[in-house]
Chains A and B, each alone.
Chain A
Amino acid sequence: DAKTTQPTSMDCAEGRAANLPCNHSTISGNEYVYWYRQIHSQGPQYIIHGLKNNETNEMASLIITEDRKSSTLILPHATLRDTAVYYCIGYTGTASKLTFGTGTRLQVTL
């Protein structure tokens, strides 16, 4: 599994875009970049994943650099309900398990 590095915490004003970076310089060619988030006292929730191309869904956008060594999760209009710990994970999709780091604690403020 690729080792990922994320900032410990970030703040974002409500209504602004939240840009959460992740470094994964050791990611292998068959590993996707997955993002999960965990709101307090709940289980992790899938957000988005990508391999090479940028991806967008109803929750977020994922921008992956061309060399695949880093990525950015974008929440375009953060709300207070987006306050959570966000995890970036390298995962092949067929391997036996997801390996979580400590993630980024995003605090969205008024």
Chain B
Amino acid sequence: DTGVSQDPRHKITKRGQNVTFRCDPISEHNRLYWYRQTLGQGPEFLTYFQNEAQLEKSRLLSDRFSAERPKGSFSTLEIQRTEQGDSAMYLCASSPRRGGEGGYTFGSGTRLTVV
């Protein structure tokens, strides 16, 4: 297990289309997080799972966004009816139950461009 994997690395989509991103966390990590990052800003929290339960969602996560983590393993983030404002880097991270010595481990992200 080499870290957090995200797929795809890049996605270009037309406005109004749906997109889905996948995140595979470190296998022994209970917690999984989704963040969004726009140019020049730090990552912004979207949502977090502990095992399969989605325990917190940011107000940034509009009803066009949905995240799942079936069976507490990989997670998907879907954006429906994409808008140009959804263009951003979507980052996934995982951590052990209590944050751990290393805090979070982030993936390399999925860069979404909505045209």
Residues of A within 8 A of B (CB): 34, 36, 41-46, 49, 85, 87, 91-103
Q: How large is the interface on B (under 10, 10 to 19, 20 to 34, 35 or more residues)?
A: 20 to 34
The secondary structure that dominates the A interface is loop
Least CB distance, B93 to chain A, in whole angstroms: 7
B40 pairs with A43, CB closer than 8 A: no
Interface centre among B33, B42, B93, B106, by most A CB within 10 Å? B42
What residues of B have a CB within 8 angstroms of the CB of A45 in the complex?
106
14 contacts between A and B (CB under 8 A): A41-B108, A43-B106, A44-B91, A44-B106, A91-B103, A95-B99, A98-B103, A98-B104, A100-B35, A100-B43, A100-B44, A101-B42, A102-B40, A102-B41
B106 pairs with A99, CB closer than 8 A: no
Q: How long is the Cα–Cα vector from A98 to B95 in the complex, in angstroms?
A: 11
Q: Does B107 contact A (CB under 8 A)?
A: yes
The secondary structure that dominates the B interface is loop
Least CB distance, B12 to chain A, in whole angstroms: 16
A46 pairs with B98, CB closer than 8 A: no
What residues of A have a CB within 8 angstroms of the CB of B93 in the complex?
43-44
- Return the chain B residue nearest A34 by Cβ: B103
- Return the chain A residue nearest B3 by Cβ: A43
Q: How long is the Cα–Cα vector from A9 to B9 in the complex, in angstroms?
A: 28
Closest 5 CB pairs of A and B: A43-B106, A100-B42, A93-B99, A97-B45, A46-B103
Within 8 A of A (CB), among B61-87: none
Q: How long is the Cα–Cα vector from A95 to B108 in the complex, in angstroms?
A: 23
- Return the chain A residue nearest B43 by Cβ: A100
Interface centre among B4, B105, B106, by most A CB within 10 Å? B106
- Return the chain B residue nearest A49 by Cβ: B103
Least CB distance, A94 to chain B, in whole angstroms: 5
A93 pairs with B98, CB closer than 8 A: yes
Least CB distance, A53 to chain B, in whole angstroms: 14
